Structure 1
Amino acid sequence: MIALPYLQTSRARIRLADTSDALKLLQFRVENRAHLAPWEPLRESEYYTLTHCVKSIEDGRENANLDRGYPLIAFDVDEETVLATFTFANVVRGAFQACHLGYGVAERMQGQGLMREVLEPGIAWAFGELGLHRVMANYLPRNERSARLLAQLGFEREGYAKRYLQIAGVWEDHVLTALVRSDD
């Protein structure tokens, strides 16, 4: 059985949410709705409800129990506020041992190096405890912040996918990147 992460950085505590965190997740979603909208799929109004947050947390914990995905939240050190979220999604085992990484940072924390700070131990956990060989992350070509962040983390460009994902209601091209565990 995989031990769920409880990671610490100088500014954050990183773990799976539990249902008692639903109000904190809702606050993050509502406060960052406009900030994250250009980079995410269109969201129904239900997404911004406490009920949906509880369901998202329950589904996330179930995905983790089934080793399908790990939606992690970076809280402040007092675990009162959500600073960022990131997910190791679409975990594939067997000969592949890989997943996709998605992430978002609170607007008020943008440009302060927080996403890198929380992703470094998160990725180390994915390569260590999860035993993954490859973490893939894709970004919109115009998202220069994500391009820089992924390059700083060691991700390498592997391709370009036309009309790859529907973001903000539009089929968008994406740059495909991956980070491969160095000791394999």
Structure 2
Amino acid sequence: MIKGDDIYIRPFTGLDSVSLLNLQTSNREFFEKFSMSRSSHYYSLDNQMKLIEKWNDNQEKDREYNFGIFKSESDELIGTVNLFQVIRGSLQSAFIGYFLAEKQNGKGYTTKAVKLIVDYAFNNLQLHRIEAGVMPHNIGSIRVLEKAGFHKEGIAKKNVKINGRWEDHQVLAIIHPND
């Protein structure tokens, strides 16, 4: 568990599968605006349990790190934050992703969670660079990253297929301050 002021992040366990399913189903329309459409099978308890198992296996293999974002006062799961496509060797980098329940947006939780996972990435995983890609019209997400210390690097044209369309992405990154 990595604690912040009013939130904490921690890896998922099998006990989180119901909360994760509730987060996904209650925010489906909102989340799918910024990611790919998912089949109805994705929104099943069995699939959420399998996802958690896969995430934990990939964490053990140093491929990706998936955390829930929880409110400190209630232990309510309000979002997810992750490092994926971890590359070792001469790059020492990863990509960051996150989702926050629509009703929790605008309260600073995502910025705090991003700062916590970046600190973890630099100090525990010894990563050098973390990169993010955000659709240019997603101003809130760009602000989250900039508040967390990321800098803009450019636009990746037609970079990610979302809901059947190739979308441009603003590329942002943060470099370990001691490198």
Does TM, scored on the shorter chain, surpass 0.5? yes
SS at match of 2:127: coil
Identify the match of residue 168 of structure 1 among 163, 169, 172.
163
User: How many matched pairs?
Assistant: 179
Gap runs ≥5 in structure 2: none
Give deviations 1:96-151, integer Å, cap 9, x for gaps.
00000011111111011110111111110100000000000010010000111111
Identify the match of residue 66 of structure 1 among 58, 61, 67.
61
- Report the Cα distance in structure 2 between the residues aligned to 1:81 and 1:49, rounded to whole angstroms: 20
Superposed displacement of residue 76, structure 1: 2.2
Change (3 A) 1:134 1:70: same
Match of 1:3 in 2: none
Superposed displacement of residue 168, structure 1: 2.2
Match of 2:103 in 1: 108
- Report the Cα distance in structure 2 between the residues aligned to 1:86 and 1:137, rounded to whole angstroms: 12
Check if 1:183 corresponds to 2:152: no
- Matched to 2:177, the amino acid is S
- Report the Cα distance in structure 1 between the residues aligned to 2:43 and 2:76, rounded to whole angstroms: 16
Give deviations 1:57-77, integer Å, cap 9, x for gaps.
000000100000001111222
- Report the Cα distance in structure 2 between the residues aligned to 1:80 and 1:30, rounded to whole angstroms: 19
Give the alignment's Cα RMSD to 1 decimal.
1.1
- Report the Cα distance in structure 1 between the residues aligned to 2:16 and 2:136, rounded to whole angstroms: 33
Q: Are the equivalent residues in 2 in contact too, given 1:14–1:74 (CA < 8 A)?
A: yes
- Report the Cα distance in structure 1 between the residues aligned to 2:70 and 2:163, rounded to whole angstroms: 26
Identify the match of residue 22 of structure 1 among 17, 30, 35.
17
SS at match of 2:111: helix
Q: Are the equivalent residues in 1 in contact too, given 2:66–2:81 (CA < 8 A)?
A: yes
Q: TM-score, normalised on structure 1?
A: 0.94
- Report the Cα distance in structure 2 between the residues aligned to 1:8 and 1:28, rounded to whole angstroms: 21
SS at match of 1:94: coil
Alignment of 1:7-156 (within 5 A): 7-77=2-72, 80-156=75-151
Q: Are the equivalent residues in 1 in contact too, given 2:78–2:104 (CA < 8 A)?
A: yes
Superposed displacement of residue 162, structure 1: 1.1
- Report the Cα distance in structure 2 between the residues aligned to 1:95 and 1:26, rounded to whole angstroms: 37
- Matched to 2:44, the amino acid is T
Superposed displacement of residue 10, structure 1: 2.3
Q: TM-score, normalised on structure 2?
A: 0.96
Q: Are the equivalent residues in 2 in contact too, given 1:24–1:80 (CA < 8 A)?
A: no
Gap runs ≥5 in structure 1: 1-5
